[in-house]
Amino acid sequence: MHLAVLLSASALFVATFALDNGEMRTPPMGWLAWERFRCDIDCEHDPKNCISENLFMDMADRLSEDGWRELGYVYVNIDDCWSSMKRDKNGRLQADPKRFPGGIHKLARYMHDRGLKLGLYGDMGTHTCGGYPGTTLDKIEIDAQTLADWEVDMFKFDGCYSNATEQEKGYPLMSKALNATGRPIGYSCSWPAYQGGLPPQVNYTQLGEICNLWRNYGDIQDSWDSVLNIIDWFFENQDVLIPAAGPGQWNDPDMLVAGDFGLSMEQSRAQMALWAIMAAPLFMSNDLRTISSGARSILQNKMAISINQDAMGIQGRRILTEKSQIQVFWRPLSNNASALVFFSRRNDMPYRYQTTLSKLNYTTGSYQIYDVFTEKTMVLKDSTSFVVSVNPTGVVMWYVSAPAKLNHRQFYKGGRLQGSGYDDENAVPRVFL
Ligand code: GLA
């Protein structure tokens, strides 16, 4: 009782001080240019891939015509290298006139007409990481106002070419300046990534108050090594990171590279599953014009997305690291449900991992299980031993419903037994996946 009172009091406290722009109550989803398209500005020789308004309009068309938008992928985010090398005569940032002849405002209109949103990139410092004009402390207000005038919906504020003292001033100032424009602009802060991502240099309470999301760690690349490195850092530091996340404030392990060149289908499922466990922003950085149907179906998996987007916004955790190199992850979800991920760090062959739900802290009876990627349903009693087969570098992901009384009728559909049986404790463990 006392604890409940205390918890709700502290929830109120957080609500009062959290960044008050009402944005991003669930992790933002969309597309972001950087990992796949970098700073390619060679439009003459590579018109399809260069950082220009055409690229962003193409991606907007794909998001709105290929089923992405309805699933929540609504942001189209421009990253570095969009601007002219010089500010205009009024000191405002301006888009490169050759590559963005219509300007950023027109692009924002293009997005809004299609039910999408536009994100833009800037940098707290003298230059962006790519060498374009940055936002020094004296330019914060004018740049925030420019974003609002252009009807931009999200702003990623990078941290190249500034020191810790400038960042300590600049990131909160930009938050204030964005709020002062009156336009709700989702605010992504790269600040912690420049300060090692951990306390005492990083103050996650403050970040939650001023930013909607933040990059904690290094840049993702199109390789499994890079994805693994990020996964390991985030889960090794989960006790620091989990309390920082919640509605309107998210840790950002960086873009989804599923759909590019570096990940197998197993690895793409692993990235999607673990980004969902982490309540991570889902920004794809791939080419939606040519993406394979396999990658598309992973990125469009409805249950993985709905786990990612769970309204409680509690970031999940790694609960087990086995000698067998199987790791188990868990995230609590609304309606007393939860998600489980079995992840294989092995490189040999599918591993048959044997366990019980009670070993994974499920101890109140029988649970209905939905396999996120095979779309099969089954019921498992907490004490029943089972075997799950996990492919090398792959995952098995489950949505686990609240415990319910067994209803025998639910196993039979159209006269056929659905899923594997249940609750015979002495039965030989079943391999059902
Ligand atoms: C940094 C950021 C990247 C990207 C580049 C652009 O490295 O972390 O995400 O924005 O700058 O130059």
Closest CA to 197 of 264, 126, 145, 251: 251
* Spatial CB neighbours of 15, under 8 Å, sequence gap ≥ 6: none
High-pLDDT (> 70) share of the chain, %: 89
Q: Is 20 a catalytic residue?
A: no
More confident call, 401 vs 19: 401
Output the CA 370–ligand 1 centroid distance in Å: 37
Radius of gyration (Cα) for the chain, nearest Å? 23
pLDDT tens track for 3-24 = 444 444 444 444 434 577 999 9
Output the CA 356–ligand 1 centroid distance in Å: 43
Tell me, using a 6 A CB cutoff, whether residue 287 lines ligand 1.
no
8 Å CB contact between 422 and 381:
yes
Residue 380 has pLDDT above 80, yes or no: yes
* Closest Cα to atom 11 of ligand 1: 129
Output the CA 40–ligand 1 centroid distance in Å: 13
Closest CA to 212 of 271, 281, 129: 281
Pocket perturbation via mutation, ligand 1, pick of 51, 124, 129 by most ligand atoms within 8 A of CB: 129
Residue 83 has pLDDT above 50, yes or no: yes
Ranges in the chain annotated CATH 3.20.20.70: 29-309
Taking the alpha carbons at both ends of the chain, their separation in whole angstroms is 42
Alpha-carbon span 14 to 24, nearest angstrom: 16
User: For residue 237, what pLDDT is reported?
Assistant: 98
Tell me, using a 6 A CB cutoff, whether residue 248 lines ligand 1.
no
Number of H helices, E strands in the chain: 14, 19
Instruction: Report the 3 state secondary structure along 54-96.
Output: HHHHHHHHHHHHCCHHHHCCCEEECCCCCECCCCCCCCCCCEC
Set 80, 123, 158, 254: catalytic member: 158
Closest CA to 174 of 249, 233, 124, 235: 124
Fold adopted by 29-309? TIM Barrel (3.20.20)
Alpha-carbon span 272 to 296, nearest angstrom: 11
Query: In CATH terms, is domain 317-401 a member of 2.60.40.1180?
Result: yes
pTM, two decimal places: 0.91
Q: How confident is the model at residue 296 (pLDDT cuts 50, 70, 90)?
A: very high
User: For residue 18, what pLDDT is reported?
Assistant: 52
Amino acid at 310: D
Mean predicted lDDT score pLDDT of the chain: 92
Pocket perturbation via mutation, ligand 1, pick of 38, 219, 226, 252 by most ligand atoms within 8 A of CB: 219
Residue 429 has pLDDT above 50, yes or no: no
**Which residues on adjacent β-strands are paired with residue 186?**
154
Between strands 29-32 and 282-284, the pairing is parallel
For residue 261, the Cα-to-chain-centroid distance in whole angstroms is: 20
Ranges in the chain annotated CATH 2.60.40.1180: 317-401
Output the CA 256–ligand 1 centroid distance in Å: 15
pLDDT tens track for 297-340 = 999 999 999 999 999 999 999 999 999 999 999 999 999 999 99
Tell me, using a 6 A CB cutoff, whether residue 129 lines ligand 1.
yes
8 Å CB contact between 133 and 165:
no
pLDDT tens track for 259-289 = 999 999 999 999 999 999 999 999 999 999 9
pLDDT tens track for 113-150 = 999 999 999 999 999 999 999 999 999 999 999 999 99
Token pair 């003459």 in the structure block, residue? 44
Q: Is 219 a catalytic residue?
A: yes
Count CA atoms within 13 Å of residue 277 on its CB side. Answer: 29
Closest CA to 267 of 392, 162, 175: 392
Output the CA 84–ligand 1 centroid distance in Å: 17
pLDDT tens track for 105-121 = 999 999 999 999 999 99
Which atom of ligand 1 has the smallest separation from the CA of 219? 8
Residue 420 has pLDDT above 50, yes or no: no
Q: How confident is the model at residue 403 (pLDDT cuts 50, 70, 90)?
A: confident
Which atom of ligand 1 has the smallest separation from the CA of 254? 9
Q: How confident is the model at residue 383 (pLDDT cuts 50, 70, 90)?
A: very high
Q: How confident is the model at residue 2 (pLDDT cuts 50, 70, 90)?
A: very low
Sign, CA torsion 12/14/19/24: negative
Tell me, using a 6 A CB cutoff, whether residue 130 lines ligand 1.
yes
- Which range (294-298, 351-355, 412-416) has the least confidence? 412-416
High-pLDDT (> 90) share of the chain, %: 88
Tell me, using a 6 A CB cutoff, whether residue 252 lines ligand 1.
no
Output the CA 38–ligand 1 centroid distance in Å: 9
- Encoded tokens for 116: 């999408």
Tell me, using a 6 A CB cutoff, whether residue 34 lines ligand 1.
yes
Residue 426 has pLDDT above 60, yes or no: no
